[in-house]
Structure 1
Amino acid sequence: MLCLSLATGCAGSLPEGARPNPEGTADLPLPTPGAGETAAGDNAAPPRPQLPLSGATVVVDPGHNGGNAEAASEINKQVPAGPEKKACDTVGASTGDGYPEHEFNWDLSLRVRDRLAAEGATVVLTRPDNKGVGPCVNERAQIGNDAEADVAISIHADGGPASGRGFHVIAPGEVAGYTEPILEPSRILAEDLRDEFVEVQPHADYLADEGLDFRTDLGGLNMSTVPKVFLEVGNMRNSTDAANLTDPDWRDEAAEAITAGLSRYLLRD
């Protein structure tokens, strides 16, 4: 049974076809089927085929949150982010028309969650809605660590120069004592995600090398013990990208590409 929750796992149940015997009496023997008859077990539904991502746990982290703008003191507090401390969180970017990044991140994350779940993955979101504050960057990483996730992705949209457009994937750089165990798997994850996402969006033309960027200053990566990347889906301040980000049909295409990239990584031999 699939459990999509930020909290505990799912409750157990009796095996299919099992019948409790509360009185403790012995069951009567079943008659042997005669010619032309079918045993009861022969009518049972066939077992469900295993879905491609069954057994995989994915943490999807929608960047920022809807209440951050009204909680300056809370999101500005310093928290562990690797060798140094950083602000708990930030407000995020927005398009020229005022569409906020936190809302985009939440919407796209739900679309990704649904597609991953349909493929059999257990999906954990780092926040339950778009009305709260935070969580802090170290807490977002810890959610993935506690879930012992096979992979984690933080979904964002950039606030770059208005003349630049495109996406980039941020992978952890080497931070002694922090990121060494996840460097190689995170790099592979970043490449798989990039190679799928380029089908719906060009590489960023204002930073990063062929759609990849390696950073050592992000607490969400530095504090992670599981393979993790950030995806900057597009530039909210660019008119072409903004038109895509505000289009629900395009967000569906983006969710499909993200799911394909994560699946490509998870299904590697």
Structure 2
Amino acid sequence: MPAAAPSPTPTSSPSSAAPQAKGPLSGKTVVIDPGHNTGNFKHTSEIDKKVDIGTNLKECDTTGTTTNAGYMEAEFTLDVSRRLRTVLEAKGLKVVLTHEADRAWGPCIDERARIGNEAAADAVVSVHADGVSSGNRGYHIILPAKVKGGAADTAKIVGPSRDLGERIGSNFARTTGSAPANYLGSGTGLVVRDDLGGLNLSTRPKVFIECGNMRDAKDAALLTSPEWRQKAAQGIADGIVGFLGG
């Protein structure tokens, strides 16, 4: 009696899920850097130690500023960063935060840059708020200058970082209703700097956003509003998504 023919091997398991369509954001990573740390105020000796930013030495970190009522910049930056993460993850992006106030102080500025580099981030945004005299209002985006020295070489990121910064700025203005800073940037909301280790040491497209001035009463009223902080996160996210082609 002839042997029975073997059953055909199934080409797919009945329980296997259909492959998901790959969108423009698939597989991309964003690193969000909440500026400062609430614990820095209690660890001034640690954050005062100098680190190498390629072109020179600079303090590991600073305390950041506060509103006149005592709301810390580090509280603001972490809240906005968490909101930003939620929005970006809903778009399918992988999001890494440099810290979540889960450490006593820091990280230092060189470590913040390294986290973005090691994550091979497609975009990195450091979230801040300014602390200048009252009457100075508005947001500004800090872009990396072209610098080379030691471990710093920003030649490859200057162009894409400007694109990222311009997209964030226009979306931030539209979503929050805030105007570009009236005290620097000549009304463009864009400032180029060569003295920030977080930018100098980055090998990935990266910008800082100063969302407003904590020392101005009108800006402080916005920065301390949860509803406004959600708008800020949405505006930054829209800029990032646009930069990444989403």
Query: Do Structure 1 and Structure 2 share a fold, with TM-score over 0.5?
Result: yes
Which residue pairs with 1:65 in the alignment? Answer: 37
Larger radius of gyration: 1
Distance (whole Å) between structure 1 residues aligned to residue 191 and residue 91 of structure 2 = 29
Q: Quote the residue 2:168 is aligned against.
A: 193
Rounded to whole Å, the distance in 1 between the matches of 2:110 and 2:99 is 13
**In structure 2, what is the Cα distance between the partners aligned to 1:170 and 1:230?**
5
Aligned to 2:158: 183
Pick which of 125-134 and 193-202 moved more: 125-134
Amino acid of the residue matched to residue 101 of structure 2?
Answer: D
**Which residue is 1:219 aligned to?**
197
Q: Which runs of 4+ in 1 moved over 6 A?
A: none
Shift of 1:46: 4.6
Contact 2:25 2:92 in 1 (8 A): yes
Identity %: 48
Which segments of 5 or more consecutive residues in structure 1 lack a partner in the other structure? 1-27, 31-38
Query: Aligned pair 1:86/2:63, yes or no?
Result: no
Q: Is the 8 A contact 1:66 1:131 kept in 2?
A: no
Match for residue 3 of structure 2? none
1:80-229, aligned counterparts within 5 Å?
A: 80-129=52-101, 132-177=104-149, 178-199=153-174, 200=176, 201-209=178-186, 210-229=188-207
> CA, structure 1 residues 214+48, in 2 after alignment: closer, same or farther (shift >3 Å)?
same
2:223 equivalent to 1:245: yes
Question: Partners in 1 of 2:101 and 2:7 — Cα distance?
Answer: 54
Partner of 1:14: none
Secondary structure at the residue paired with 1:132? coil
AA aligned to 2:180 is: H
| Cα deviation, residue 45, structure 1 | 5.6
- The answer (yes or no) to whether the contact 2:24–2:244 under 8 Å persists in 1 is no
Equivalents in 2 of 1:80, 1:133: separation in Å? Answer: 18
Structure 2 residue identity aligned to 1:215: R
Instruction: Provide the TM-score with structure 1 as the length reference.
Output: 0.81
| Deviation for aligned residue 1:69 | 0.6
Tell me if the contact between 1:52 and 1:119 (Cα under 8 Å) persists in the aligned partners.
no
CA shift at 1:161, angstroms? 1.6
Q: Deviations over 1:50-89 (max 9, x none)?
A: 4552211111000000111111110000001121000000
Map of 1:13 onto structure 2: none
Work out the CA distance in 1 between the residues paired with 2:229 and 2:88. 15
| Pairwise CA RMSD | 2.0
Q: Which runs of 5+ in 2 are unaligned?
A: 1-5
Deviations 1:191-248 (A, max 9, x none): 1111111111110001113100000000000011111000001110111111111111
Task: Tell me by how many angstroms 1:173 deviates.
Answer: 0.9
How far 1:129 moved relative to its partner?
A: 2.6
Counting matched residue pairs gives 233
Instruction: State the distance in 2 between where 1:176 and 1:58 align.
Output: 25
Q: Secondary structure of 1:181's partner? A: coil
Matched, 1:74 2:46: yes
Q: CA separation of 1:29/1:188 partners in 2, compared to 1, >3 Å: closer, same or farther?
A: same
**Measured at CA, do residues 191 and 46 of structure 1 come closer, stay the same or move farther in structure 2, by a change above 3 Å?**
same
